[in-house]
Amino acid sequence: MQFILKFRRGLCYNSTMERRRSKRTSVNLRAERISGGRKDDVFIEDISETGIHLLTAPSSAFGKYHAGNEIDVRLALPLGESIVLKCRVVWSFRRMPPEREVDSVGLEIIGPPPRYLEFIRTFSSAAGV
């Protein structure tokens, strides 16, 4: 098997990492990162059945985003419901676009609950994905 190292957005990864298990849907959702007794507001940039890409204001908490660390993300669903997702950090980096600095984090959802999968499928269908 051949591995090709690539660089994108300041992140080094191999070509096998580009293969996704599920389709991603671009979104702009608010959520909460729960870790170490703290709750921080985050924005979800895209979602899938198995993962989340979130953005958050830069903070000292960035050090907690090491690959393999587990964190919880509370996602607000329609009709006032919320669901807590157990996640594992897959990658992270500090993005410095011209507008503002943000922490960008890729998460794998550990054992996505059925209600979340239902939400994703409904959301993706409505978005035409």
pLDDT at 68: 92
pLDDT at 85: 96
The CATH T-level fold of domain 43-129 is Thrombin, subunit H (2.40.10)
pLDDT tens per residue across all 129 residues of the chain? 333 333 444 444 444 444 556 677 888 888 998 877 788 889 999 999 999 999 888 766 556 788 899 999 999 887 788 999 999 999 988 877 666 778 889 999 999 999 999 988 887 776 565
Kindly state the DSSP code that residue 4 receives in the 8-state scheme: -
Cα–Cα nearest to 112, from 38, 33, 47, 40: 47
Run of H or E residues at 27: strand 25-35
pLDDT at 80: 85
CA angle 65, 115, 70 (to 5 degrees): 15
Query: What are the structural domain ranges in the chain?
Result: 43-129
pLDDT at 8: 42
pLDDT at 56: 86
pLDDT at 13: 42
